[in-house]
Amino acid sequence: EKSVSIKTLQAMKDRCEKFTTVALYDAPMAAMAQNCGVESVLVGDSLGMTVLGYDSTLPVTMEHMIYHVEAVARGNKKSHIMGDLPFMTYATPELAMHNATRIMQAGAHAVKIEGGAWLASTVSMLSERGIPVCAHLGLTPQSVNKFGGFRVQGREREQAETILADAMLLADAGADLLVLECVPAELAARITKAIPIPTIGIGAGRDTDAQVLVINDILGLTETPPKFSKNFLSEAGDIPKALKKYVADVKAGVFPEDSHIFS
């Protein structure tokens, strides 16, 4: 079977077919994801919390990211692979170009960066130089100290309008994908209609073009799982069955359920 590119993912949005992303960090899990029909994998800087035991993503370094992107790329030759740029490694467009290059050379097909309008010039620079960019709006965990905790974003009208405007600006600047994290379902639905590129939701309702979950949450490894996540392993019985169920439930539009959604 052919490998998945950003063009594959865009075509899926264009024909209203949902796709599935899993944030994962190592070769065997990456291999299993590809064999279970996961179109897109993300080597997230969530690995600081899910694998390395930190309280936030702020301590994650380029070296951590490269180590895990290389492992995932060795295990998976078929899914589209995104790698996060960690905290402060894209604070200026020049830094972003330097560090995005390293993530791409480690085996990613796109980089993900957190933030709004201030990133427009970075997005166009990377995009023009051949690096696909996934933008990330809503709860952007690298800004946890500005938010005062991991909390839903875009509940107030003014902030919701800013997130929508940022989404349109970043898509115009050349972003190829957009993660929406912990925003009201209605806002995610509006953004998904307003921009041409695929939206990937986590805690963003059912109406995004795709869903992303962290592998630890899918497998019940998280002590206090977030409201938007689901342990697919407990009902499925083994890991391949859990991943296939997640993929099937996203495609069918039955995950997330009402209990996973913010309004």
What is the rounded end-to-end Cα distance, in angstroms, of the chain? 39
Residues annotated within a binding site for Mg(2+): 45, 84, 114
Q: How far is the CB of 86 from Na ion (least distance, A)?
A: 8
Q: Under a CB-based contact definition with an 8 Å cutoff, are residues 216 and 50 in contact? A: yes
Q: How far is the CB of 21 from ligand KIV (least distance, A)?
A: 8
Choice between 237 and 247, CB closer to ligand KIV: 247
**39 is a contact residue toward ligand KIV (CB under 6 A):** no
Which letter does DSSP use for residue 256 in this model?
S
Indicate which single residue of 44, 75, 203, 256 sits in contact with ligand KIV (rule: CB under 6 A): 44
Rounded to whole angstroms, the Cα distance separating 203 from 214 reads: 12
| Cβ atoms within 10 Å, residue 3 | 13
| Helix, coil or strand: residue 208 | coil
Q: What is the phi/psi pair of residue 41, to 5°?
A: -120, 150
182-194 burial code (b ≥16 CB/10 A, e <16): bbbbebbbbbbee
- The 175-204 contact track toward ligand KIV, x by CB under 6 A, reads ----x-x--------------------x--
Q: Under a CB-based contact definition with an 8 Å cutoff, are residues 119 and 135 in contact? A: yes
Rounded to whole angstroms, the Cα distance separating 120 from 103 reads: 20
Per-residue CA distances from 110 to 1, 38, 89, 103, 158 (Å): 21, 16, 15, 8, 31
Strands 110-114 and 199-202: unpaired
Partner interacting with residue 42 (select from ligand KIV, Na ion, none; CB below 5-8 Å by kind):
ligand KIV
Catalytic: 161? no
- Residues 37-56 touching Na ion, rule: CB under 5 A, are 44-45
**83 is a contact residue toward Na ion (CB under 5 A):** no
- Quick one: which segment of 13-21, 80-88, 147-155, 166-174 binds Na ion (CB under 5 A)? 80-88
Q: How far is the CB of 48 from Na ion (least distance, A)?
A: 9
- Residues 200-219 touching Na ion, rule: CB under 5 A, are none
- Residues 75-114 touching ligand KIV, rule: CB under 6 A, are 84
- The 197-236 contact track toward ligand KIV, x by CB under 6 A, reads -----x---------x-x----------------------
Residue 38: exposed, middle, or buried by beta-carbon count in 10 A (0-12, 13-18, 19+)?
A: buried
Half-sphere exposure of 109 (CA within 13 A, CB side): 21
Choice between 163 and 214, CB closer to ligand KIV: 214
Indicate which single residue of 20, 40, 46, 192 sits in contact with ligand KIV (rule: CB under 6 A): 46
Rounded to whole angstroms, the Cα distance separating 188 from 79 reads: 25
Residue in 63, 70, 158, 181 annotated catalytic: 181
Q: How far is the CB of 48 from ligand KIV (least distance, A)?
A: 8
Q: How far is the CB of 202 from Na ion (least distance, A)?
A: 10
Residues in the site for Na ion, rule: CB under 5 A? Answer: 44-45, 84
- Site of interaction with ligand KIV (CB under 6 A): 23, 42, 44-46, 84, 179, 181, 202, 212, 214
**Active-site amino acid positions:** 181
